[in-house]
């Protein structure tokens, strides 16, 4: 795939400033309550200081809940609770403010942004600002064909990078990353299984809405077949995304890497964003230092990916709906950590 050198990210991405983090730790020693009494809130405050590049921490006020949307051809096999081609309805619900993520974004003061990368509907059915980055209608059926062509994968990846730049340039403090997809967790399981060298059964979950045993077996078989196609291209992460990821996951991976370049912190949601993060880590090993895992969804692919990346979820409430919902639930915790780190007075 010409024109895009992923190796550049390893050079461009730097870790959050360790000197600033030490300054934040020293400041924490001088305020009450005693260090450690606030648990992970102390750690979050220090991480935010390093990510922002200053002490004390600034409030986390400009937040975008970013949802990449797409349909996956593998959903035709009955691997999802939702109907194949059903991502358009998820997008409409989010835009109408009627999805769980939309409700939480509104409640927590986050801007909701939906990006259609491969929804299987006429683009005229959705707003132009939602569809302007669309690569194709639906991604290919990954058990028997590539999700994307090489050119489509590069276009989707660059779209994710461009969106990261737009968010950084607009002054976004933090991004909550989620997805609106049907069949997305099957693609995610394939990516995680391929990168971790595991069997399909180890990374096959029951999806956001939950599936019965027969659907789980169909999903496991689809991931098994998709893994056979993914393993030969493990050495090239963009080819891997083209073979097994789809336009929405490819864009999310590009977004995560470019956000790390632009020093924009990101909260990951469920299996899909975790799979993209695992691919991104293979590209640039320092990139995960810019991410938080919002919640444990219970999906085995997410758990496997987060373990490999060494990210510990902030919450574990059994939220499986996806769509950024679990990550949004972690947002108030991050905002609380910022407020405490900034506003607790130093002892005299």
Catalytic pick from 154, 323, 343, 346? Answer: 323
Cβ-contact 77, 223 below 8 angstroms: no
Find all residues with CB under 8 Å of 137, minimum gap 6, and list them. Answer: 71, 118, 119, 120, 121
Task: Give me the count of residues in the chain.
Answer: 348
Bridge-based pairing state of the strands 174-182 and 63-71? parallel
Give φ, ψ of 277 to 5 degrees: -65, -35
Q: Which residues contact 346 (CB under 8 A, 6 or more apart)?
A: 27, 30, 31
- Report how far residue 222's alpha carbon sits from residue 75's, in angstroms, rounded to the nearest whole number: 10
195, 262, 266, 24: CA torsion to nearest 10: 110
| Gap between the Cα atoms of 254 and 252, Å rounded | 5
Spatial contact of 304 and 196, defined as CB atoms under 8 Å apart: yes
Cα separation, 326 vs 297, whole angstroms: 8
* Cβ-based burial of 344 (10 A; exposed 0-12, middle 13-18, buried ≥19): middle
What dihedral angle (degrees, nearest 10) is formed by the CA atoms of 224, 228, 230, 232? 160
Q: CA-to-CA distance for 289 and 285, rounded, in angstroms?
A: 9
Cα gap 121→130, rounded to integer Å: 13
Handedness of CA 117, 120, 123, 124 (dihedral sign): negative
Catalytic: 14? no
> Quick one: 137 exposed, middle or buried, by C-beta within 10 A (0-12, 13-18, 19+)?
middle
Q: What is the spatial distance between Cα 82 and Cα 210, in angstroms, rounded to a whole number?
A: 9
Catalytic positions, please? 323
């Amino acid at each position: 795939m010409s024109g895009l050198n992923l190796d550049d990210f390893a050079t461009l991405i730097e870790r959050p400033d360790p000197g600033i983090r030490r300054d934040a730790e020293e400041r924490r020693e001088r305020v009450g309550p005693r260090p450690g009494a606030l648990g992970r809130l102390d750690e979050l405050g220090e991480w935010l200081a390093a990510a922002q590049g200053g002490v004390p921490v600034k409030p986390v006020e400009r937040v975008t809940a970013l949802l990449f949307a797409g349909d996956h051809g593998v959903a035709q096999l009955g691997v999802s609770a939702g109907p194949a081609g059903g991502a358009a309805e998820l997008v409409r619900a989010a835009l109408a403010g009627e999805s769980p993520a939309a409700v939480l974004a509104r409640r927590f003061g986050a801007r909701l942004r939906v990006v259609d990368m491969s929804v299987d509907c006429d683009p005229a059915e959705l707003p132009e600002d939602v569809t302007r980055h669309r690569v194709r209608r639906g991604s290919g059926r990954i058990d028997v064909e590539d999700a994307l062509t090489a050119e489509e994968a590069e276009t989707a990846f660059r779209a994710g990078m461009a969106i990261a730049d737009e968010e950084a340039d607009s002054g976004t403090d933090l991004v909550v990353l989620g997805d609106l997809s049907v069949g997305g967790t099957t693609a995610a399981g394939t990516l995680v299984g391929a990168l971790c060298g595991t069997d399909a059964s180890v990374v096959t979950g029951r999806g956001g809405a939950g599936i019965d045993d027969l659907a789980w077996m169909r999903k496991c078989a689809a991931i098994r077949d998709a893994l056979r196609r993914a393993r030969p291209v493990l050495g090239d992460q963009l080819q891997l995304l083209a073979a097994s990821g789809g336009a929405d996951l490819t864009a999310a991976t590009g977004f995560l890497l470019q956000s790390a370049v632009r020093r924009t912190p990101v909260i990951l949601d469920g299996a899909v964003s975790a799979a993209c993060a695992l691919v991104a880590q293979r590209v640039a090993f320092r990139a995960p230092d810019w991410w938080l895992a919002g919640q444990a969804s219970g999906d085995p692919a997410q758990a496997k990916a987060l373990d490999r990346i060494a990210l510990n979820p902030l919450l574990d409430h059994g939220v499986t709906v996806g769509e950024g919902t679990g990550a949004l639930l972690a947002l108030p915790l991050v905002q609380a950590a910022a407020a405490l780190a900034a506003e607790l007075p130093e002892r005299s």
